[in-house]
């Protein structure tokens, strides 16, 4: 397993890391026993960064992850959780709610503190509230010692453009869906984030299911043309003796300017397979074929959040 520095935190995290969303049943059935074994398989493979949120499975993912971590030495993993999103349309990033959310997360995880706390999907909350109330609250938590570092997550890249443009102090950002085979638009922001020594966590290398043989779940927001194109290319990869998911993981972890890439799985076999893929180089001819076939949809996306996040 390769390890990379995470911004200016002093942490070195595995290039491939474990996202616990699948433990909450986000992508289908997630038996608890299998989920716990999946976490242990990730740790045994050298993965040392785990990410979760109370939103995933409406606290189920945190609860299962907490059970999986019982008895695991604390120095074996770096853990992040999130706050501010509690349901599909339930967002509250007020100081009082963030305090309550963190306290409840610590109980579910069985911890006294977490390494990282992220505001979850900030594009659904007015930006001025995020800057003037929510992030200062996280800084208070940091001073109190219940978290070590803090940041925010979101889908629109305008979130991170604003962090840079307004010189907002954060340790980390988590971006999902914008560094993958079908969308590499996060690359344009990396130099500015690196200049500020902001650690970058990349998530959704599979495009939330777009870049898999199974295809995206029914709730996926991508337009039909994106979904159909990805499924056509998944079929093409199968004819070449590979899977699109395999190529997607190899492509994401090979980007050295990204500290880590999160994937999610809820059984140990999937974890072990994904780790094997990550440790192999992509078949270069196939990779170039796939990138060419994806070019018509490269960087295409969909709106998310409040209208104010539609542009910088």
β strands within the chain, DSSP E: 3-5, 12-14, 16-19, 49-51, 78-83, 85-87, 90-91, 114-119, 147-154, 172-176, 199-203, 260-264
77 is catalytic: no
Contact in structure between 159 and 121 (CB atoms under 8 Å)? no
Token code pair at residue 202: 């990349």
Tell me the three state secondary structure of residue 287. Answer: helix
Decide: residue 181, CB within 10 A, 0-12 exposed, 13-18 middle, 19+ buried: buried
Q: Which of 27, 49, 55, 56 is catalytic?
A: 56
What totals of helices (H) and strands (E) does the chain contain, helices first? 11, 12
Alpha helices in 27-120 (DSSP H): 32-44, 60-69, 95-109
Residues classed as catalytic: 56
């Amino acid at each position: 397993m390769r390890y990379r520095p995470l911004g200016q935190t002093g942490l070195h995290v595995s290039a491939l890391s474990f996202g616990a969303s699948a433990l909450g049943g986000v992508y289908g059935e997630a038996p608890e026993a299998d989920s716990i074994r999946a976490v242990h398989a990730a740790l045994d493979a050298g993965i040392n960064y785990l990410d979760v949120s109370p939103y995933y499975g409406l606290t189920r993912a945190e609860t299962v992850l907490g059970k999986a971590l019982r008895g695991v030495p604390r120095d074996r993993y770096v853990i992040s959780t999130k706050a501010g999103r509690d349901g599909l349309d339930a967002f509250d990033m007020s100081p009082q709610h963030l305090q309550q959310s963190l306290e409840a997360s610590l109980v579910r995880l069985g911890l006294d503190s977490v390494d990282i706390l992220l505001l979850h999907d900030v594009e659904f909350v007015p930006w001025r509230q995020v800057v003037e109330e929510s992030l200062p609250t996280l800084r208070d938590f940091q001073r109190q010692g219940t978290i070590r570092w803090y940041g925010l997550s979101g889908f629109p890249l305008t979130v991170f453009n604003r962090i840079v443009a307004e010189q907002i102090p954060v340790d980390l950002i988590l971006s999902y869906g914008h560094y993958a085979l079908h969308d590499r638009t996060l690359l344009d922001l990396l130099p500015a984030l690196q200049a500020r020594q902001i650690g970058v966590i990349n998530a959704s290398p599979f495009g939330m299911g777009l870049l898999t043989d199974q295809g995206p779940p029914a709730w996926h927001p991508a337009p039909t043309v994106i979904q159909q194109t990805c499924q056509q290319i998944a079929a093409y990869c199968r004819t070449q003796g590979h899977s699109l998911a395999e190529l997607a993981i190899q492509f994401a972890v090979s980007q050295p300017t990204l500290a880590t890439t999160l994937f999610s799985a809820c059984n140990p076999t999937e974890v072990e397979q994904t780790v094997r893929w990550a440790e192999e180089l992509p078949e270069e001819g196939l990779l170039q074929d796939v990138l060419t076939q994806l070019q018509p949809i490269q960087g295409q996306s969909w709106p998310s959040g409040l209208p104010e996040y539609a542009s910088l």
